Amino acid sequence: MEDLSENVIEALRREALRIEEDCTLSSKRHFNTADVWKWAHYGLGIPAALAAGGAGASAIGEEAIVAGALGTASAFLSGLLTFLKPGETSAVHKGVGDKYLSLKNDTRIYRTVALLDVNDQGLPSQLRELSDRRNSLNESSPVTPRWAFEKARKGVEQGEATHAADKENSRVGS
């Protein structure tokens, strides 16, 4: 069996790095989006519950105007919760972010471990499988706002996605 050439291994390594970079940015932008939707869920849900409770208490106390205003506010906020479904939207974006993170980790292991075996003729097809997973995620993922991508890129540039083991001269656990 013939070893894969250095040029082929280097090309596989570069493409794996591209997949890792794509997955890093994609996971972070989906996590950023999930956070906003999570807070929207709380920001609508808690006031809706408080307004409903206040409306009930006001009705018992025979404060009709206050009860009506709080009941209307509760109905409005509850309607927004039902229409926007921020809790579900947050969970979807978190799940997609987790899938991108998983793919990033699998690709990193491929790049740092599997590519060491130059005798493995299956390396190009393994990279194709990783690329296909990325493409599938890209096609099926919900859209994120531009600000989520910009925040992700800024965070990556500031080292938020860098593991201590990846830094030069790092000694993990010391």
DSSP one-letter string for the chain: -PPPPHHHHHHHHHHHHHHHHHHHHHHHHHHHHHHHHHHHHHHHHHHHHHHHHHHHHHHHTT-HHHHHHHHHHHHHHHHHHHHH-HHHHHHHHHHHHHHHHHHHHHHHHHHHTGGG-TT-TTHHHHHHHHHHHHHHHHHHSPP--HHHHHHHHHHHHTTTT--GGGSTT--TT-
Tokens 């509760």 found at: 74
| Residue 88 in this model has a pLDDT that exceeds 70 | yes
**pLDDT tens digits, one per residue of 22-81:** 999 999 999 999 999 999 999 999 999 999 999 999 999 889 999 999 999 999 999 999
pLDDT value at position 166? 78
| Rounded mean pLDDT, 105-128 | 94
The answer as to whether 167 is a domain residue is no
pLDDT value at position 77? 97
- Quick one: what percent of the chain has pLDDT higher than 90? 83
pLDDT value at position 165? 80
The answer as to whether 30 is a domain residue is yes
Tell me how far apart the alpha carbons of residues 28 and 101 are, in angstroms, rounded to a whole number. 9
pLDDT value at position 136? 97
The answer as to whether 116 is a domain residue is yes
The answer as to whether 170 is a domain residue is no
The answer as to whether 66 is a domain residue is yes
| Rounded mean pLDDT, 117-136 | 94
Tell me how far apart the alpha carbons of residues 28 and 51 are, in angstroms, rounded to a whole number. 35
Tell me how far apart the alpha carbons of residues 42 and 144 are, in angstroms, rounded to a whole number. 20
The answer as to whether 98 is a domain residue is yes
**Chain-wide mean pLDDT for the chain?**
93
Our CA angle for 130, 132, 134, nearest 5°, is 70
The answer as to whether 166 is a domain residue is no
The pTM assigned to this predicted structure is 0.86
Domain boundaries, position 11 = 6-156
Total tally of structural domains belonging to the chain: 1
The answer as to whether 1 is a domain residue is no
pLDDT value at position 162? 85
